[in-house]
Structure 1
Amino acid sequence: LGTAQDAGYPQIHCQKECCAKVLSGEENPEWVSCLALVDPGKKKYWLFDATPSIVEQTGYVQKLIPGISLAGIFLTHAHIGHYTGLMMLGREAWGAGEVPVYVMPRMRTFLESNGPWGQLVSLNNIQIRDLQNEEEILLPNDVSVTPFLVPHRDEYSETVGFQIKGPGQTALFIPDIDKWEKWDKDIQEEVAEVDIAFLDATFYANGEIPGRDMSEIPHPFVEETMKLFEGTGSESKIHFIHLNHTNPLLWSVHTKVELEAKGFEVARTGQQFPF
């Protein structure tokens, strides 16, 4: 339901070529990275992250399957692109009733202890459900979701990725991580065990943001991830997500064609995967 980094595409106050392409109509805007797990039979769906694009994203799902209801939201962490969409569940907006929100312990404390999020809890707009590292959550129709901790800038909460397992396929969802080598797991092994891997592609290469020390905002560069997976046979499983507005995969046809020639994919808004 979106492939952009937290601030979307175009990004606020960007006057460079990357965002000018959207403002001129040359490129389309992009929603913030998010997945929807959809059960069309029961007309229910679960969101993975509540983004600033939540109005458009939930509207897209509702248009796809009229009458469908939001059955829950799984949150990865407390950076702005991943939880602030919860505000649209409050009484100033939807006024939702007890929507399950699945969170890790520090994320729970953050929501309950800070406004306006605590009001969502006290007014029963959301109902917090606890997650624990690597403990499986069972959903209907033989679907399960398992959170796992990943290293990231954990100022307000821990950060997790999710394994989403269905009867037919299994996916990884890792929108944010510092560097693959900082993780206590081997990303090559983790991808080898699944069918689809939605991986952090915030920045394409070092030096992408002039004047900024990129070690202060660590992410695996797309160039690093491709080098790590080239020749492994897992290239086609990888769908890059969470692209910063400076990432040429958003606006450079040449860069995207080069990446796809190596067997990798850039995820597309509206793309569907049977589970």
Structure 2
Amino acid sequence: MRSPLLCSTQKGSKPVNANESYPFAVVLGTAQDGGIPHAGCQNPCCENARSEPSHARLPACLGLIDPRRQQRWLLDCTPEFPRQLDRLNQVSDPEWGLSGIFLTHAHIGHYTGLIHLGREVMGTRSTPVYAMPRMTRFLTAHQPWKQLVDQNNIRLEPLVADQAIFLSDDFQVTPLNVPHRAEISETVAFHVQGPRRSVLHLPDIDDWAAWDRSLSELLVHLDLAWVDGTFYDANELPERRMDSIPHPLLIESVARFQSLPRNLRRKIHFTHLNHSNPAARIDSNEHRTVLDAGFGFAQEMSGIEL
């Protein structure tokens, strides 16, 4: 049986084996909000990415494409929106435009790319932006986001937890509440269901134990889950209090899900990797340790038919 995963794409091509009869998801970024290299970082992890572009990563973002209806969506709108739109254009027709943007939450790596929709850059017209209630209130109350709404560059569309948004009769996106720092807005993951397969986009969560759902149970019904792998262990940022930026440590996630059957473990692909995370380097022992345990990592410009 052929794997639903698609190979990485080359510039100007569509994902290998993509079937134009089905929608698909493509990974447009796999790093934490600041990307790799990270602003202000002169450590080897970032200097290597500056000297060797293949080691660089863009902030976590997912593209959804429906070739049948010539439509495209983004899950999150990062500070690297221009480059990620370029990537989306490599695997689909730019003339299809953007049918909408789904926002997980109001931390800078997930919504600030919206500035490019304003009149200073693209000057879009009524681009649908799907947001939860607190996220919506934030965008309508604070500049420069309020200006995007007032000038009709974006049209805010309400999200309700556990209620699907139907992109077509057999293609839907459902927000799932997740516990994550809520200074500005609530946080959601997105469950994407296509005609044949379903995936989970969950770039941020504070703690698996604090979630009112079980990832292990969800995996039974998923084909792939891109989940929070921000930090490898507690030693990465000695100058920061890790409890002030809570994420499940990658080594803890591996231990937590290690007892799952291998066919479920292999569905977990870690994303949203911080620049300090040694597992972000594919030649590192930490990266290999995670792979050897039966898990995977999100790969930029890879995808899956839905």
The answer to whether residue 124 in structure 2 is matched with residue 93 in structure 1 is no
Q: Partner of 2:279 in structure 1?
A: 249
- TM-score normalised by L of structure 2: 0.87
User: Alpha-carbon deviations, 1:83-135, whole Å to 9, x = none?
Assistant: 00000000000000100000000000000000000000011100000001111
Match among 142, 167, 181 for residue 153 of structure 1: 181
1:1-275 equivalent positions in 2, closer than 5 A: 1-25=28-52, 27-66=54-93, 67-233=95-261, 234-253=264-283, 254-275=285-306
After superposition, the CA RMSD in angstroms is: 1.2
- Aligned-pair distance for 1:250? 1.5
Separation in structure 2 between the aligned mates of residue 224 and residue 248 of structure 1, nearest angstrom: 15
- Aligned-pair distance for 1:251? 1.8
User: Alpha-carbon deviations, 1:1-23, whole Å to 9, x = none?
Assistant: 00000011100010111111112
Is contact 2:29-2:62 (8 Å) kept?
yes
User: Alpha-carbon deviations, 1:168-223, whole Å to 9, x = none?
Assistant: 11111111110001111222112222111110001011121112210111101111
Q: What stretches of structure 1 of length at least 5 have no aligned partner?
A: none
CA 1:271/1:141 → structure 2, altered by over 3 Å: closer, same or farther?
farther
Separation in structure 2 between the aligned mates of residue 63 and residue 188 of structure 1, nearest angstrom: 34
Is contact 1:27-1:251 (8 Å) kept?
no
Is contact 2:225-2:268 (8 Å) kept?
yes
Is contact 2:65-2:92 (8 Å) kept?
no
| 1:274 partner letter | E
User: Alpha-carbon deviations, 1:203-260, whole Å to 9, x = none?
Assistant: 0111211122101111011111111111312111011110000011212513222211
Secondary structure class of the residue paired with 1:30:
coil
- Aligned-pair distance for 1:273? 0.1
Secondary structure class of the residue paired with 1:145:
strand
Separation in structure 1 between the aligned mates of residue 226 and residue 46 of structure 2, nearest angstrom: 24
Secondary structure class of the residue paired with 2:305:
coil
Higher relative contact order (CA 8 A, sep 6+): 2
CA 1:42/1:252 → structure 2, altered by over 3 Å: closer, same or farther?
closer
How many residues get paired? 275
